[in-house]
Amino acid sequence: MSTDLPTILTAARRRNSVTFKLLFIGVLIVVLQIPLILINELREERSKNREAGTALIVAPAAATNTSNSRETADAGVPLSAAAEGYRMAERALKHGMLVITLVFAAFFLFETLADLRLHAVHYGLVGAALCLFYLAFLALGEVLSPGWAFVGAALASSLLITLYCVSILRSASRATMIASLLTAEYSVLYVVLRMEDYALLAGTASLFVALAAVMFFTRRVDWFAQEQGNDAKV
């Protein structure tokens, strides 16, 4: 009986590995909301500081009826563009959990379908790179137009994750698939941010497409066999 104990423990660990990984991914997604909350607080602070600083500069000029007020307000990035950038950053942050969830779902599918094993550190570093997108978007939005700020931040985050995936996914083709997923996600997010009237419709349609893709790629997976450490495909 004692000689079978290691075998029993190994089988139990395998049986619960999928469940534990899903729980870990869920907890990590919740934890990653903390830096997103901090970035949103930074956005609010910088937005208020910018508005206060602009009021101090423009008000005296307006009081003396000079023409410098328009020139001051238009110096650098126009105030309207900066305000729009802050609003877009705020709305993008609201979709942060969805973006992170979809990327982590892709990594979990690679683990399941391609027989890979990713460490918690891999998920954590990819999550950090996804969070940096929002910080970069906020920072670039103060010196560039909102559209170019979004593109620059998306390119930086996607390139960082893609290059990292070449190593952890052990295949350039798999990394290319992740790059394609990120491109699609950020493209849809940009459309959602720009088309405010149709944001809910576009977001809902994207979720249906993402869920359909997960169902399609996992339709032949035997989850019971996966939990026991056997071949997961029928």
Q: What pLDDT, on a 0 to 100 scale, did the predictor assign at position 73? A: 44
Helices (H), the chain: 5-31, 33-63, 68-73, 79-94, 96-113, 120-140, 146-168, 172-194, 199-217, 223-227
Q: Is the pLDDT of residue 120 over 60?
A: yes
Rg (CA), the chain: 23
Q: pLDDT tens digits, residue range 34-93?
A: 999 999 999 999 888 877 766 665 555 555 554 444 444 444 556 667 788 888 999 899
Domain boundaries, the chain: 5-227
* Farthest-apart Cα atoms in the chain, separation: 94
Q: Say what the pTM is.
A: 0.80
Residues with Cβ < 8 Å from 50, sequence gap 6 or more? 82, 142
What does the pLDDT average to over 7-16? 52
Q: What pLDDT, on a 0 to 100 scale, did the predictor assign at position 128? A: 96
Contact status, residue 161 vs residue 130, Cβ threshold 8 Å: yes
